[in-house]
Structure 1
Amino acid sequence: MISEQFDVFLFDLDGVVYIGDEPLSGAVESLARLREKKKIIRFLTNDPCTTRSKIVNRLNRMNIEAHEEEVITSGWATAQYLKSTNLKMAFVLGNNDLKWELRQAGIEITNGSSCDAVVVGWDNTVTFYDIQRAAKYIAQGAVFAATNADKTFPAPEGPLPAVGAIVEAIRVSTGKRPVIVGKPFPSMFHEAIKNLDPSSRIVMIGDNPMTDILGAHQAGLQAVLVGESNTYPAKNDFRNADANIRDLLGLFDPDIQIKKWVRPNYPWPESIKPGVAGIVFDEYGRVLLMKRADNGLWGIPSGHVEPAETVEQAIIREIREETGLEVQVKRLIGVYSDPVSQIFSYPNGEIAHFITNCFECQVIGGSLNKNHWETLDIQFFDIHQLPENLLPMHPKWLADALEQQTSSYIR
């Protein structure tokens, strides 16, 4: 049974332990049984409108044992992030509980003309003027931090805007990506397991695949979903739970097995984007490669698709911009989406999964221009004497181009 396989249990609260002020079925008994077995318990919540002490009092009123050091809220974790990065003064879009947690960490709350950080939580009184001020401070160099990125929260009348809606307004207006502390991002999980024995067996119990399950898996932890099962089609989708239980009593069900989470060797992407690549041979059968300035690796000319462009137009444009050559498309080599080789992490923190249409192209004009800002060098190589430091997906594309088969196919 799951309860015997782990030493540390991380619990989401709303929807797992309680709803409102009422414990969910089996929660009180299950948590007491884990305590009897000397298990370590942590409670994690993305709610930025409360404090650790208030969560403890709320659980205690439900006859659930809890201690302040066991509770990690997104507000408290955000305060710890600012403290650890030596940020002293914050402009806060959040309620008094968030401000209290920040003050306890030594952070001064300011409404003045400057600050070290803009912290976004939740406050029903936030105005557009507040968002404008936040954007101004970020443009002046303040760190952009958010307690979480939840875009909505459930209400009787339907989903209502949450912290993520404010975060998105500031992100769009500043072009800056925030540091997000709450689930599914790493900071909250790191706070939860900090100071634990490195050999501890840890599991996350949650009801939200997008925060609890995804976040646990990104942190390298196994994850159990409470409630209705959500299954995503890809075997290695980080949002697929390792086990599903109806309520917390399922932790003690001997018939419920938990799979071992083996993290794939690529990060979880936040978006899927169309891409193009062009294999260009010269009259001697040599292939055109460019050495990229961003990573120093050699590769086939490649890029993205602009709005209203066909993929053929996109690769013709990319090759012209990157190399100075005018080309025409001869044939489609293949459509590639292997996540191991086609999930990219950008310096700004963005992670994207590219679906790449790879074409064979023929030179019809122009001349090589080695001064493009994206490249360190551009030249033709004998296919038997390619540089060793090739981008990882490109040898496969070249091998497929050299085959005689001309049909397109998905990989």
Structure 2
Amino acid sequence: MSDHLAGGYDLAIFDLDGVVFLIDKPIPGAAEAVERLRADGTSIAYATNNASRRAADVATLLTGMGVSAAPAEVLTSAGAAAALVAEQVEAGSPVLVVGAEALRAEIRDAGLTPVESAEDAPVAVVQGYGPEVGWKILSEAALAIRAGATWYATNTDRTLPSPRGPLPGNGSLVAVIRTALDREPDVVVGKPQPALFTTAASLAGAERPLTIGDRLDTDIQGAVTAGMDSLLVLTGVSGPKDLLSAPAECRPAFVAADLSGLFRPADRAVVSAAAVEGWTVTRDGDRAVLDGSGDPVDALRLLCGVTWDGVPPANVTGNSAAATELLTTWGL
């Protein structure tokens, strides 16, 4: 029996943005966490909704940051989308690509023909994140979809994490076409759909995978959908306030401030804890009072027990200076 959380699993599936790095800088401790897992014999996989890089490019990026990675360990929504479209249309079919060159390359390698105009009569539109995506290509995509092309979105993340705060993600770009056409994409490929997770587990031959992510609505919901345990780290998009109000389908098994939580005892990372060191919660109907002081993540774990059981997060108050300050920091 392992004395830490990660020891109970044979595969760690990492999200990237907000977990391992922010844009182009590694998050402190990420490289050390990956190497410790490898030393313990845990398999590693990286699953990302970002469709702007290919698997080999992601592996090179990670390696350049000091985080060990092989192309075969990387699964991207771009690669998954291209493979799915290739299964559903004839070889060589024209596909209008909205996104980065990496997505066009994946479509090309899948035996399809990337195009940029609705006049090319594309049978499908594949939309992924790309920093240069603008009105012209979005307009062509809208025209093609209206003409009958099947609309695939690599993912619908509304934002991307960055050191300056959340930035518009592919979901925001998908919303442009959704607004113009008053309809949803026909297919969403990436998280929270379970394919990236189940494929990672299958490739690794894993029986006990653990997903590590920073977003409740993609990483964690995808893991729940795939029937996998998950760890939410608070280094990216979703914060304590989000976790306290998370619906059942977006609730992780564990939460930690960062990847060092992988090496804490599992019972010190489990969410909705009944009791923790330093903090107490007293409930009175639909209200609760937090008292004491200590590790903020422990307070969060404890509070999830009452907010997930019906107490609105706005009805939680503090009864000590530390508790009041913590709740204020969380926006409560």
TM-score by length of 2: 0.70
Q: How far, CA to CA, are the matches of 1:30 and 1:259 in structure 2?
A: 19
Secondary structure in structure 1 of the residue aligned to 2:262: helix
* Corresponding residue for residue 309 of structure 2: none
Q: How far, CA to CA, are the matches of 2:28 and 2:140 in structure 1?
A: 45
Large movers: runs of 4+ above 6 Å: none
* Corresponding residue for residue 150 of structure 2: 143
* Corresponding residue for residue 219 of structure 2: 212
- Post-superposition shift, 1:183? 1.5
Among residues 11, 18, 35, which one is paired with 2:21 in the alignment?
18
- Post-superposition shift, 1:77? 1.7
* Corresponding residue for residue 285 of structure 2: none
User: After alignment, is 13-22 or 46-55 more displaced?
Assistant: 13-22
Among residues 228, 243, 251, which one is paired with 1:231 in the alignment?
243
Q: How do 1:128-207 and structure 2 match up within 5 A?
A: 128-154=135-161, 159-178=166-185, 179-197=187-205, 200-207=207-214
* Corresponding residue for residue 84 of structure 1: 87
The total of aligned residue pairs comes to 259
- Counterpart amino acid of 2:88? T
- Counterpart amino acid of 1:184? P
1:194–1:142 distance in 2 versus 1, CA, 3 Å: farther
- Post-superposition shift, 1:255? 5.6
Q: How far, CA to CA, are the matches of 2:31 and 2:162 in structure 1?
A: 25
Secondary structure in structure 2 of the residue aligned to 1:64: coil
* Corresponding residue for residue 117 of structure 1: 124
* Corresponding residue for residue 362 of structure 1: none
Q: How do 1:250-269 and structure 2 match up within 5 A?
A: 250-254=261-265, 256-257=267-268
Structure 1: runs of 5 or more not aligned = 262-411
Instruction: Map Cα deviations across residues 364-396 of structure 1 (whole Å, 9 max, x no partner).
Output: xxxxxxxxxxxxxxxxxxxxxxxxxxxxxxxxx
Q: How far, CA to CA, are the matches of 1:195 and 1:159 in structure 2?
A: 32
* Corresponding residue for residue 107 of structure 2: 102
Q: How far, CA to CA, are the matches of 1:56 and 1:260 in structure 2?
A: 32
- Post-superposition shift, 1:84? 2.6
TM-score by length of 1: 0.58
- Counterpart amino acid of 1:105? A
1:249–1:82 distance in 2 versus 1, CA, 3 Å: same
1:176–1:191 distance in 2 versus 1, CA, 3 Å: farther
- Does the 8 Å contact 1:232/1:239 carry over to 2? no
Q: How do 1:262-341 and structure 2 match up within 5 A?
A: none
Percent identity between the aligned chains? 34
Q: How far, CA to CA, are the matches of 1:134 and 1:249 in structure 2?
A: 43
Larger Rg: 1
Q: How far, CA to CA, are the matches of 1:214 and 1:3 in structure 2?
A: 20
- Does the 8 Å contact 2:261/2:269 carry over to 1? no
CA RMSD of aligned residues (A): 2.5
Secondary structure in structure 2 of the residue aligned to 1:231: helix
- Post-superposition shift, 1:83? 2.1
* Corresponding residue for residue 399 of structure 1: none
- Post-superposition shift, 1:196? 4.5
User: After alignment, is 142-151 or 86-95 more displaced?
Assistant: 86-95
* Corresponding residue for residue 356 of structure 1: none
Q: Would you say 1:69 and 2:72 are equivalent positions? A: yes
- Counterpart amino acid of 1:167? V
1:70–1:240 distance in 2 versus 1, CA, 3 Å: same
Q: Structure with the greater relative contact order (CA < 8 A, sep ≥ 6): 1 or 2?
A: 2
Q: How far, CA to CA, are the matches of 1:194 and 1:89 in structure 2?
A: 31
As a proportion of its length, which structure holds more helix? 2
- Does the 8 Å contact 2:12/2:209 carry over to 1? yes
Instruction: Map Cα deviations across residues 151-198 of structure 1 (whole Å, 9 max, x no partner).
Output: 23345665443221221222233344211112112332233233443x
Q: How far, CA to CA, are the matches of 1:12 and 1:144 in structure 2?
A: 25
- Does the 8 Å contact 1:147/1:181 carry over to 2? yes
Q: How far, CA to CA, are the matches of 1:255 and 1:62 in structure 2?
A: 28
* Corresponding residue for residue 258 of structure 2: 247
Q: How far, CA to CA, are the matches of 1:103 and 1:193 in structure 2?
A: 26
Q: How far, CA to CA, are the matches of 1:132 and 1:233 in structure 2?
A: 37
Secondary structure in structure 1 of the residue aligned to 2:248: coil
